[in-house]
Amino acid sequence: MRGNFLLTDCSFDGIMAVDGGKMDNRDVKRVNLLPNIKKIRIPQEKFTQYALDFKRDKDKATAFQSALGYNKTNSDLLISNILSNIENFEAILKGDDGFGMRYEIIMSLTGVNGRTANVLTAWIDDKKANEMRLISAYIDKPKEVLK
């Protein structure tokens, strides 16, 4: 299944560090919610052709399958789970990489298998495209989830 997912008037479809370097965590600022939330886009292909594709990224696909029960055939349920919970977790401002401000949200999600795991989602507020787009998602190591 291919497509875009909508949250109200939103559509859906590793993060590069600034100048190839790493951002200093001391510069991380906290924000309450992901800004521009009405313009979220999660490309389904981000999951069906990458994160849940055993041929493209075996480690991510294995982690999603074992931790939460998600795979390419039910990627729409994972996207819906992310959208349903996006306003329940704090977004962390990671800085501007020249293409737009980047944010990170670590969500505690319950999967289709009934298990709960932390999912790190990375977003870019793409000024050129005028959208808040998911750029990465993966099962994260257990740590404090910001609510």
CB 132 within 8 A of CB 34: yes
3-state SS assignment for residue 126 = strand
Is the residue at 85 inside a domain?
yes
Q: For the chain, which residues score pLDDT lower than 50?
A: 1-27, 30
Is the residue at 34 inside a domain?
yes
Is the residue at 6 inside a domain?
no
User: Which residues, at least 6 apart from 22, have a Cβ–Cβ distance to it below 8 Å?
Assistant: none
| pTM for this prediction | 0.76
Is the residue at 116 inside a domain?
yes
Domains contained in the chain, number: 1
**Rounded CA gap, 134 and 44, in Å?**
10
**Rounded CA gap, 118 and 5, in Å?**
22
**Rounded CA gap, 63 and 71, in Å?**
10
120-143 per-position pLDDT tens digit: 999 999 989 999 999 999 999 765
Is the residue at 22 inside a domain?
no
